[in-house]
Amino acid sequence: MKIVEDLELEKEVSQMLQARGRDLLKLMQKADELREEQVGEVVTFIRNQNMNFSNVCESKCLFCGFSVTPHSTNVQRLSNEEIKELAESAKQRKVTEICITAGLDPESSLQRYLEVLSIVRKVDSSIHIHAFSPMEIKFLAEKEEMEKEEVIKELIKGGIGSLCGTAAEILVDSVREEICPQKLKTQEWKETIELVHELGLRTTSTIMFGSIERPKDIIAHFKILKDIQEKTKGFTEFIPLPFIHENTPLNRQGKVQYGPTGLNVLALYATARITLGELIPNIQSSWVKTGEELAQVALVSGVNDMGGTLFEENISKSAGANHGEVMLEEKFIHLIKDSGRIPVRRDTLYNILERY
C-alpha cells in the first residue's frame, strides 16, 4: 500500500511541476491559499550583505560561472584589509547579516576561514554571520585531517551564526555526477546538515533547478529536505534557485540551452509551498536570479520572503544574471505593498525587526 501511495504522490507532484495554463493558475491559487494559512499576509526581507572572499575553486561544477582555477588571470582573493572594508561598509549600512562564501581554494585553510570571521567580528561583534556550506565543511575537514564535527565547532567558536544550505543543487547522485561530480554526495550533504543542526546551528535549505534534472529528481530532493526537517527542525527557509545558464560549462558544452522559464519558476514555487510549506513555512524567491518583477509575481505563488538587499553579488552575475547586485529596502517595501501584502524586515532567524 505504501508503494502505491508513494507512486500516486510522485505522479501528483510531477503534474504540479509541469502545470501550465489554467492548471498553473489553479496551482498558484492553491499555493497562495496555503501560504495565507501557514504564514499570513506578511512578506519578509532582510538587510544583508554578501562577501565572496575567494573565487578560486578546485571543484569544477558545470553549472558555475563564478569560480576560476588558481592559475587564471581572473583570480580574486580578498586581502584582510578588503575584508575589513566590506565589514565596515556592512556596519555603516546597518545590515543585520553578512553572508560569507568562497570557492574551494587550495590556498585556504581552517585558519584562513577563522581569520575572516575574526576580522568581521572585530568590526561588528553584533552582526549575524551566515556563512559557508556543507561542501566547505567537507573541504576543510579533509584539508585539515579533522572530523567535520571538529571543524563546525571551531567555526562556531569563531563566530559563525548559521550555515548556508547550499551545495545541495539536486540531491540525486546521478544528476550530481553530471553537473558537479567533484562535490559531496547526497548522503554526505544530508549527514553534514544534520550534524550542523545537532550542534545548534540553523541552516537554509536550497534547490538549484532548471538544468538537466527531471521532475522525479526534484521530488526526491523535496523528500530529503522533509526528512531532515522532521528530524531536526533546523531549516529556517527554503530557497529555490533557478539555474542561470548563459556563462556556464553546461551551456558552453551544449548540454543545457536554456534555463528555467518564468512558468517553470512559478510552478516550482507553488509546488514547494504545497509539499514543503507545513514543515518549512518560509519560502523565499530569488530576485537576483528571476528579476524583481517575477520575484513579485511569486508572492501569489506561495512565496512569503523576498530575500535580502545583498549589496555585493558575484555568483549569479558571473553565471549571466543581469538583475543587479542590490535591492534597497524602499524597493522591497514598494513591491510588497503593491502586492497587497505587509512588508516586514526580519533577521536571519526570522525574528521581526521592523514593520512598514
Q: If you average pLDDT over every residue of the chain, what do you get?
A: 92
With b for 16 or more beta-carbon neighbours within 10 A and e for fewer, the 90-123 pattern comes to: bbeeebbbbbbbbbbbeebebebbbbbbebbbeb
SS3 of 236-253: EEEEEEECCCCCCHHHHC
pLDDT tens for residues 149-183?
A: 999 999 999 999 999 999 999 999 999 999 999 99
Q: How many CB atoms lie within 10 A of CB 343?
A: 20
pLDDT tens for residues 304-354?
A: 999 999 986 444 444 344 446 789 999 999 999 999 999 999 999 999 999
Q: How many domains does the chain have?
A: 1
pLDDT at 75 over 80: yes
Nearest-angstrom CA–CA distance, 4 and 258: 35
Nearest-angstrom CA–CA distance, 137 and 120: 20
The answer for residues whose C-beta is within 8 angstroms of residue 48's C-beta and 6 or more apart is: 95, 96, 97, 98, 99, 130, 308, 309, 310, 311, 348
CB 19 within 8 A of CB 27: yes
pTM of the model: 0.93
Q: Which amino acid is at 248?
A: T
pLDDT at 260 over 60: yes
Nearest-angstrom CA–CA distance, 15 and 23: 9
Nearest-angstrom CA–CA distance, 334 and 265: 22
Please choose, from the candidates 163, 166, 187, 336, the residue with its C-alpha nearest in 3D space to the C-alpha of residue 241: 166
pLDDT at 67 over 90: no
**The pLDDT of residue 244:** 86
DSSP codes, 54-90:
B-B-S---TT-SS-B-TT-TT--B--HHHHHHHHHHH
Host domain of residue 131: 2-355
Nearest-angstrom CA–CA distance, 262 and 294: 7
Hey, which residues does 99 pair with through a beta bridge?
50, 130
**Cα-based torsion angle of the residue sequence 142, 147, 150, 152 in order, rounded to the nearest 10 degrees:** 60
Share of the chain above pLDDT 70, in %: 94
Nearest-angstrom CA–CA distance, 280 and 229: 7
pLDDT at 221 over 90: yes
**The pLDDT of residue 312:** 66
CATH of the domain at 110: 3.20.20.70
pLDDT at 247 over 80: no
Q: How many CB atoms lie within 10 A of CB 248?
A: 24
Hey, which residues does 131 pair with through a beta bridge?
100, 163
